[in-house]
Amino acid sequence: MNRGFFTILGAQFFSALADNALFFAALALLKEQQAPEWHLSMLLWAFTVSYVVIAPYAGAFADSMHKGRAMLICNGIKLVGCASMLLGMPAIFAYAIVGFGAAAYSPAKYGIITEYLPHEKLVEANGWLEGATVGAIILGTIIGGYLSGAQISNWLHSHTLGQYLSPAQFAIAGTIALYLLAAYINLSIPKLQVRLKPFHLDPVHQAREFAWCVKRLWRDPQGQLSLGVTTLFWGAGATMRLVVLNWAVIWLSLTMEQASQLIALVAVGIAAGAFLAGRLVKLERAFTVLWAGVAMGALVIIMLLVNQIWLAALLMLIIGALSGFFVVPLNAMLQHRGHQLMGAGHSIAVQNFNENLGILLMVGLHAWLVKNWSSPVPSDASALLLKQFGHSGMPPMYLIIIGFGLLVMLTMSLIIARYRAGLARGVLHD
């Protein structure tokens, strides 16, 4: 891996760092505004919906220009959304603008890796990429939680700045600097000598081309299995952030700031699992890691038996490690097959479409459960629970955690059965 690769990695890291810090700052803003609890799920839903809606255009946009330039444009869109939130636009709508920029950014950031490196380097590169992304999640979670937390709130109240900015607004302002830093690094990304494809604005043409790409990737035996796993992973991962936030408050009596640090431990585990996968799993052996997905689903259900912080921290690390270990090789396989079948940008757009459709479905289900199945907070509940859930009620944690874990286990078991059937027919190899 050379300097150019790490320049690409750095630009992606700081842009993702800002995205994640902004998510927790926006959560804090909704809490300050006493928004209903289900609005927290809708915040993530609004961010994700663009990945599905603009998927037919995102890949074509990325393939129509040098991908470093596409990344710079999309980072600017995210900066506009962040600034809009600071200037008073409702958090859900402003974060939707950020999501629009992120959706257009993704095919460029993954596509440039497949163009820059030979296929035998893709698993290692994905290990680096997922490690950097997870590092951004960890630091972004900590930064967003800290900047909108009690210490900064006390500091703001003792300074004149507190007259103009709430803790959440202060955290949102801080993310602007991160987006600017990402843009600065982006300017040094090497311009690759690749064949550019014309960008057609005709929606019928784009829809037909995208539909063909979706059909081709789903019909490819290796692409089908890889896409099924990564779709499940990202849908489950997005929902997991919301589940852990509420679980940490209800089961472990942690504050939101402390709960965000627990989510960071999941990300640490993912980074460790991604590193191990990059070192131990070759591209041609990508499907041998499917068992880790079933184990992850089983460990999610065990969350209901944990009420000690040290044990919860260990559980989050293990869940994260299993997640990173099984998703990195399959993500590399999916990128490799997609690049072979239809080009880097188009294949990543198809991947984003499916993965984020999974996120929309799972996060939307979570929001529906929280909105319709929450129960009143008991009168003798702690002050922490009253502060967190007094306006909207207690989420149905038993139903959410058990259902979530069983869904992951069942889906991964079906994918393993599909893989074994492919081996028996000779369309896949072990």
pLDDT digits (tens, 9 = 90+) for 259-277: 878 888 887 888 788 778 8
**Residue closest to 235 by CA, chosen among 27, 43, 48, 374:** 48
The label of the residue with tokens 């993704």 reads 106
pLDDT for residue 50 is more than 70: yes
- pLDDT at res. 1: 61
Q: Please give the structure tokens belonging to residue 115.
A: 């163009």
Of the candidate ranges 58-62, 89-93, 99-103, the one whose mean pLDDT is the lowest: 58-62
**Which residue did the predictor score with more confidence, 150 or 246?**
246
Residue percentage of the chain with pLDDT more than 90:
22
pLDDT for residue 208 is more than 90: no
pLDDT for residue 160 is more than 90: no
405 pLDDT tier (thresholds 50, 70, 90)? very high
Alpha carbon of residue 324 to chain centroid = 13
- pLDDT at res. 429: 58
Mean pLDDT of 104-126: 74
| b/e 309-320 (16+ beta carbons within 10 angstroms → b) | eeebbebbbbbb
- pLDDT at res. 265: 86
- pLDDT at res. 198: 66
Mean pLDDT of 107-119: 73
Q: Please give the structure tokens belonging to residue 74.
A: 């999309």
pTM above 0.75, yes or no: no
- pLDDT at res. 120: 67
Mean pLDDT of 392-402: 90
